[in-house]
Amino acid sequence: MPDILAHDARTDPTAAGLTGAPVATMVVEAPVAPLKTDPDPFGPLATTLLFGETVDVYGTTDGWSRVQARGDGYIGHVPATTLGPVPDTPTHAVAVPMTHLYAAPTIKAEPVGVLFLNSRVRVEGEDGAFLRLSGGLHIEKTHLASIDTPAADFVAVAQMFLHAPYLWGGGTVQGIDCSGLVQAAMLRCGRQTPRDSDMQEAAIGEPVDAEAPLKRGDLVFWRGHVGIMIGEKTILHATEYTLRVMKEPFAAMRARLADIGLDVTSVKRP
């Protein structure tokens, strides 16, 4: 992990009060597992974990497992019922914002579940237009990509989330926040990033003058917020302002935030 995460209770086991080695390694078996700072079903999300994501488990109490995600290193509590044993190595990842799981390889079958972008699965066969997963369920083949073939353009991935609802701590098309959008889009392109916007600002890319012409793919940071430039003058971001992912003129957004005392803290070019 980048040095910025050292001694941060969000990602450092010692700072988080974890002692000793993990007691188990498990994977997420639910489509989405809520990871929370405290084991409180009504508490806010810290982040979300996806199907197939590997975690180190430090213990389980009252139905909550204390875990550290292997991907971005985030530490928190998840419902123990969302975890299961580590399966065979995944071969594919979901390449679209959301896809249905089918019990039979036909679009006329009743879907039995959903998976979200970057969920990891093992494919064991092909049935017409569908791929058969290790558990016997099916996903439309164009909705999956080989683990070894990441997308090339994280901005195009992020744009697939346009109009998705905003959710603090969310990381899927059902609900996503500003830094979750950056993380999900970059992960689809094979780049694991930190989870929160302050971590991303410190760890991603090279600084760019905020007053210079910006480029597609530049990340613009404010205190507690990040957006993705999708052109020289247009920004995409998941925002509390409209509670959805939206695109808008960068100048207008910057002026609106300046009116409430927030100005750009940095621009980073990945």
82-108 per-position pLDDT tens digit: 999 999 999 999 999 999 999 999 999
Distance CA 52, CA 41 (A): 22
Distance CA 179, CA 237 (A): 9
161-204 pLDDT per residue, tens: 999 999 999 999 999 999 999 999 999 999 999 999 999 999 99
Report the pLDDT value the prediction gives residue 4, as an integer from 0 to 100.
44
187 lies in the same domain as 121:
no
196 lies in the same domain as 263:
yes
Query: Could you please report the per-residue DSSP string of the chain?
Result: --GGGTT-TTT-TTTTT--S--SEEEEE-SSEEEEBSSS-TTSPPSEEEETT-EEEEEEEETTEEEEEETTT--EEEEEGGGEEE--SPP-EEE-SSEEEEESSSSTTSPEEEEEETT-EE-EEEEETTEEEETTS-EEEGGGEEETT---S-HHHHHHTTTTPBB-TT-EETTEE-HHHHHHHHHHHTT----SSHHHHHHHSSEEE-TTSPP-TT-EEEETTEEEEESSSSEEEEEETTTTEEEEEEHHHHHHHHHTTT----EEEE-
63 lies in the same domain as 106:
no
Q: How many CB atoms lie within 10 A of CB 65?
A: 24
142 lies in the same domain as 202:
no
50 lies in the same domain as 131:
no
Residue 78, pLDDT > 50, answer yes
140 lies in the same domain as 186:
no
202-241 pLDDT per residue, tens: 999 999 999 999 999 999 999 999 999 999 999 999 999 9
Q: Which of 85, 106, 133 is the last residue of a domain?
A: 85
**Do the bridges between strand 234-239 and strand 244-249 make them parallel or antiparallel, or are there none, so unpaired?**
antiparallel
What CATH code is carried by the domain that includes residue 134? Answer: 2.30.30.40
Q: Domain range spanning residue 22? A: 3-85
Report the pLDDT value the prediction gives residue 6, as an integer from 0 to 100.
55
Task: Name the band, by pLDDT with cuts 50, 70 and 90, for residue 34.
Answer: very high
Distance CA 222, CA 34 (A): 26
111 lies in the same domain as 208:
no
165 lies in the same domain as 252:
yes
What CATH code is carried by the domain that includes residue 173? Answer: 3.90.1720.10
Sequence length of the chain is 270
Instruction: Record the tokens describing residue 104, joined without a space.
Output: 């039979």
Q: Tell me the C-alpha to C-alpha distance, in Å, between residue 215 and each of 38, 155, 219, 234, 270.
A: 39, 11, 9, 10, 11
Task: Name the band, by pLDDT with cuts 50, 70 and 90, for residue 2.
Answer: very low
215 lies in the same domain as 120:
no
Domain count, the chain: 3
Q: How many CB atoms lie within 10 A of CB 110?
A: 8
Q: Which of 53, 69, 85 is the last residue of a domain?
A: 85
171 lies in the same domain as 227:
yes
